[in-house]
Structure 1
């Protein structure tokens, strides 16, 4: 099945404009040429992509699927063009890197800042992803390197220790739980909870652990900033669990209490991982060495 970029742009233009005629005009094609391209796409797929009527044209279910993938392909194409154009302006390298939330909350931003300051001709494309997604991406060659928890499946990858991922409970100051000897995650999960918004990797981990205990979290509110979580806890809205770096930062500014969770899953080692250091391009090896001095 083959479609060129003109086909994809035309199809999206038809859906946005509501007719083949208007869509053809948007992409500067003659109506006859546009109609022939649509027929060719439908013949290739083997099913109609558009519902034609006197009022215009709309997508069939197959057309909706095509539109979805067309948007993704065109977005990636634009991203590729933008990245390649930077090489023509003197860029020597573009490092693709994924990191879990814990590393982004601790030393990784500082390490990358120092590396980028020393290498102005290298860019880093850094994305926050859960550890469970990072190792497969490395094996598939989607990224050059990743920072993740060692509890993930790192088989077949080269790894080096990078730090510790420790989770801490946070309660309002003077809360009885903060004074309870041996308080663990089960004690925290049983209380009204303040959480981060859906999609946050750490929040997903916390929810999964609570579910395994048979204690689905009783959210009172979910917010999108660590500072907002601290404000809610300080006001007595509920309790929460945060990476140690975030918990300490909040505790320095707000009237809250924190304590480390003793649960085994809440204390993990962070690692930097690659498929093969020797197979990396030179600029990516330089970035790797900046993170792990003794690779």
Structure 2
């Protein structure tokens, strides 16, 4: 490394922000510093590392190959600082640490409340910050280090992440009480004339149904889309069609609304969940605790 300047966190943060925004002036404005001072900080970084970090374009700046390497290391630096800050704040309040846990809707609706209750009883000094998100978004958050631990649908592309089996569920048809009376088990092809109430396009459930419909050549007639299991059941009750939901999550809703659940006789109706973490970021004690607790106590034997 050449140059007499030293790297400081403010300059490194400026560099990361400029790379994200594609503009040094926008980064300077967001950090409330003068453009000239921001440009000087970037120049000092380039002198320190002996490499050009940005290419100037008509639209702003783009990180060079060297800049992308520094960006990767900078993300690790700020990730470590974030963990250190959280852990020290937690220690001051008598906690070991906090876990940022992001989970898909199906896991939260069925398993996590009870499991996290048992976890809290076992580790009262560990706090869990639980957020609900779509599986695809969870994987992105784990990759970027914005979430510590994720619970996603198994089968999701998680290349480069560590995964541990979690639980499994089964899907069922949610229908009005008078739908196909006397029939307790059906295949997806039996529903070819029906209208469906489904979740939003980003939901793993909807993507699964669309994939199955494409594979089988059966048109998926979507009449309504909603953002929750409760919404699916209420729209079914109102006569908009039928839905397909996890049995455990839908059972109480269906009962309270006078709906019936019909077994879905398909191999893909049995779904598995996985716990995922990013091995490129350091794991805290709190993270290791929750992954081990949820993974070992709920592990199923089948491979993902």
Give the TM-score of the pair, scaled to structure 2. Answer: 0.64
SS at match of 2:107: helix
> 1:218 aligns to what?
221
Unaligned stretches of 5+ residues in structure 2: 1-6, 300-304
8 Å contact kept, 1:149–1:165: no
Distance in 2 separating the partners of 1:103 and 1:262 = 22
Aligned length: 268
- CA positional deviation for 1:76: 6.2
> 1:247 aligns to what?
250
Distance in 1 separating the partners of 2:196 and 2:134 = 23
- CA positional deviation for 1:47: 3.0
Question: Greater shift after overlay, 267-276 or 28-37?
Answer: 267-276
**Quick one: which of 86, 97, 102 aligns to 1:93?**
97
8 Å contact kept, 1:13–1:26: no
SS at match of 1:195: strand
Change (3 A) 1:184 1:153: farther
Change (3 A) 1:119 1:167: same
- CA positional deviation for 1:122: 0.7
CA RMSD of aligned residues (A): 5.0
Unaligned stretches of 5+ residues in structure 1: 52-58
8 Å contact kept, 1:197–1:223: yes
Distance in 2 separating the partners of 1:129 and 1:12 = 23
- CA positional deviation for 1:259: 0.6
Distance in 2 separating the partners of 1:23 and 1:149 = 38
- CA positional deviation for 1:48: 1.8
Distance in 2 separating the partners of 1:121 and 1:203 = 38
**Quick one: which of 258, 272, 292 aligns to 2:261?**
258
**Deviations along 1:248-286, whole A, 9 cap, x unmatched?**
12212112221110111112455778999xxx8765565
- CA positional deviation for 1:194: 0.5
SS at match of 1:47: strand
